[in-house]
Structure 1
Amino acid sequence: MVKILRVGVLLLVLSAIWATPAPAHSSNDDGRQLSVGRGETALTVGATFIFNPETGKSEPRPGASPADEDPNQYMADTHCRADGPDTKDPGCDALDCPATTPGGPEGTPVIWKEAPKAITNPGWTNWIPITGPTCLYDAEPQNVLADIAARILNDFRQLPINPGNLQAQPFPHTLKGGPTNFYTTATEQTFDVTILGQAIHLTATPANHTYTFGDGTTLGPTPAAGYPIPEAEWLTTETRTSHSYTQTGNYPATITTSFTGTYSVNNGPPLPINGTLNITTPATTIHVWKTQRALVADTCQQNPNSWGCPGTEPTH
């Protein structure tokens, strides 16, 4: 009889659990509430902070120490904007963000993401959102795209862009009066950086080149990057970037490449950077020789010190 009563109690307890309504919010392993709705005005982060998705700011919960600092950082992903890549998201097509005051600014539909502050470049696309589409009204985050656009050229010019190298054929010795083929190895390069808390993808593209041959003559600016040619054509083929030296000597040749750039914010569309970055390569010394003809009595195999043989003093 006692066993039957215990079973009955157990059944009653299970029945009460199954009858409990589902909560309006779900929780992750650390107890933080994750909202599944839209238009939230507050979001509990852990047990200490309250995050406001309308302003992008977190504050200590009532009763917590004001000196406490939120260990997390937040990013407003504007993927619901009209030109964004995810406008087909079910939460985007029905979310309006009207002004909260007469004549005030409209809000911006955003998805908030969270990452620890200890991570300097969290790669926001890999972090799970902490809200569904919601409206952002704070003036400072709304201007983040304009703030990035105002400084993007300076950040672009600080990138460690590789200017490539100036190549010459023949090299290091070429002939007076003959064509010397020049070309550059500069290539397109990409960079991922964080600016104002946003994930920025930059692309640097070589657009124009100025060849300085070291004898007082230049070529360019020109989009021609040049190209290598077979060794059998070095002394006979003249390319768009070839140069002929009129005097013997040693000449420091350089190339200045002008890079243009584009950038995208949080995987958004590529935007042009209004300005260029010009980088000049270190000098490459070209030794220009002249040719002479002479009759000799024996070959270099017969007499290695004969005129014109390898290792003998060349005549400039």
Structure 2
Amino acid sequence: MGAGQQGDDRDDGPAEQTFRTELLGRGIDVVAAPASYRYDFGDGSRDLVTTSPGHEWPDHDTYHLYDMVGTVQVTLTTTWKGKYRVDGTTVWRDVVGTAATSTTSAPFVVEERRSRLVDDLCTDIPTPDDC
């Protein structure tokens, strides 16, 4: 374990995917691993490209701050690299090239909330609307 990881059972590595297939009558094991992640945050900003699958707070390293309110969708494109092994051999060979998969979130609304000091509860006099 690295420094600061004592007692942390979280797997920080990318999630490999293992597949079994057949080609020309021969069994083949295929392992695909994420090589990079591209986030399009749906607001016209520069995409975030990273090799990290992201971590939860307080160690988060994959995040975005929206500058404007509005309805957006986030698209994540994962680029995969792979290796394969044909039955009867112990040698793993790299797959030439990469593959990409994409998924897009449901639309969601980016809102701005502001705090105000008031002398009454907003539930007593709910004006203005954002009180």
Q: Smaller-chain TM-score range?
A: 0.7 to 0.9
Structure 2 match to 1:272: 94
Write out aligned runs for 1:169-180 (5 A).
none
Deviation of residue 267 (structure 1)?
A: 4.5
Equivalent in the alignment of 1:244: 65
Per the alignment, residue 209 of structure 1 pairs with: 37
Which residue matches 1:306? 126
Deviation at 1:243, TM superposition (A): 1.1
SS at match of 2:75: strand
CA contact (8 A) 1:296 1:306 kept: no
Aligned residues: 115
- Name the structure 2 match of 1:293: 115
Distance 1:203 1:210 in 2: 21
Q: Deviations over 1:86-132 (max 9, x none)?
A: xxxxxxxxxxxxxxxxxxxxxxxxxxxxxxxxxxxxxxxxxxxxxxx
Structure 1 unaligned spans of 5+: 1-185
Q: Which residue pairs with 1:190 in the alignment?
A: 18
Aligned counterpart, 2:6: none
Give yes or no for contact 2:55–2:61 (8 Å, CA) kept in 1. Answer: no
Deviations 1:26-53 (A, max 9, x none): xxxxxxxxxxxxxxxxxxxxxxxxxxxx
Report the alpha carbon displacement of residue 292 of structure 1 after superposing the two structures with TM. 2.3
Structure showing the higher strand proportion among its residues: 2
- CA–CA separation in structure 1 for the residues paired with 2:120 and 2:92: 70
In the other structure, the counterpart of 2:3 is none
Per-residue deviation at 1:306? 3.1
Instruction: Find the aligned partners of 2:119 and 2:76 in 1 and give their Cα distance.
Output: 42
**Deviation of the 1:224 alpha carbon:** 1.6
Contact 1:254/1:284 (8 A) holds in 2? no
Q: Which structure has the highest helix share of the two?
A: 1
- Give the match for residue 257 of structure 1: 78
Computed over aligned residues only, the root mean square deviation of the Cα atoms, in angstroms, reads 2.5
Letter of the aligned partner of 1:223 in structure 2?
Answer: T
State the Cα deviation string for residues 116-166 of structure 1 (Å, max 9, x = none). Answer: xxxxxxxxxxxxxxxxxxxxxxxxxxxxxxxxxxxxxxxxxxxxxxxxxxx
Provide TM-score, normalisation by structure 1.
Answer: 0.33
The structure with more radius of gyration: 1
Aligned equivalent of 2:103:
281
Query: Cα distance, 1:196 vs. partner?
Result: 0.3
